[in-house]
Amino acid sequence: MDDQPTGFEEFVHVRGLALLRYGFVLTGNRDDGADLVQEALLRLSDAWPRVRSKDDPEGFVRVTMVRLHISRWRRSRRERLVAEVPESSYRDADIERLSGDAGTWRLLAALSPRQRAVLVLRYYEDLSDEDIAARIGVSRNTVRSLAARGLARLRAEPGLPIPDLGSV
């Protein structure tokens, strides 16, 4: 790396994979996810002394990633509202092989980035609504509303018969 403070590379080596996975789950696309991680890491490297002193560089990166992802929603939402997930993202067989549901993964691509981000933070990162609200900078009620709309949209899609047993 160019002029990076000691410790930054180590952080990337240790946590890079987890961040790439987070980026992929957040965006639904490997390239977009990697792009998000790189941009967040670039910002982390700029702020490394300050962030490291607070002992939470990963928190910095994850907050940066989700906020970057949401703040880009206006310019990218049209590309996201597609029926077909880009080929580079995954193959249905791969996700099924890992006990995932390819249909659900495809339907996630139809959600707005904010709805998707809230569902990812709640069901992938296992954060409370209060923590999600703090991370993306909205109220807890907005988090609940986004989660409810996101789940409702997933349930409403034809071809995915899911009984409405849960609540938000």
Residue numbers of the site for another protein (CB under 8 A)? 1-2, 9, 12-14, 16-17, 19-22, 24-25, 30, 33-34, 37-39, 41-42, 45, 67-68, 70-72, 74-75, 90, 94-96, 98-101, 104-105, 108, 114, 119-120, 123-124, 136-138, 142, 145, 149, 151, 154-155, 162-166
Residue 47's SS3 state is coil
Q: Shortest Cβ distance from residue 125 to another protein (Å)?
A: 9
Nearer to another protein, 83 or 149 (CB): 149
Nearer to another protein, 75 or 83 (CB): 75
Length of the chain: 168
Cα–Cα distance measured from residue 168 to residue 49, given in angstroms and rounded to the nearest whole number: 39
Q: Shortest Cβ distance from residue 30 to another protein (Å)?
A: 7
Q: Shortest Cβ distance from residue 55 to another protein (Å)?
A: 19
Question: What dihedral angle (degrees, nearest 10) is formed by the CA atoms of 108, 114, 120, 126?
Answer: -150
N- to C-terminal Cα separation, the chain? 44
Nearer to another protein, 9 or 130 (CB): 9
Q: 146: how many CB neighbours lie within 10 A of its CB? A: 24
Q: Shortest Cβ distance from residue 96 to another protein (Å)?
A: 8
Residue 23 near residue 72 (C-beta atoms within 8 A): no
Q: Shortest Cβ distance from residue 86 to another protein (Å)?
A: 14
Cα–Cα distance measured from residue 16 to residue 12, given in angstroms and rounded to the nearest whole number: 5
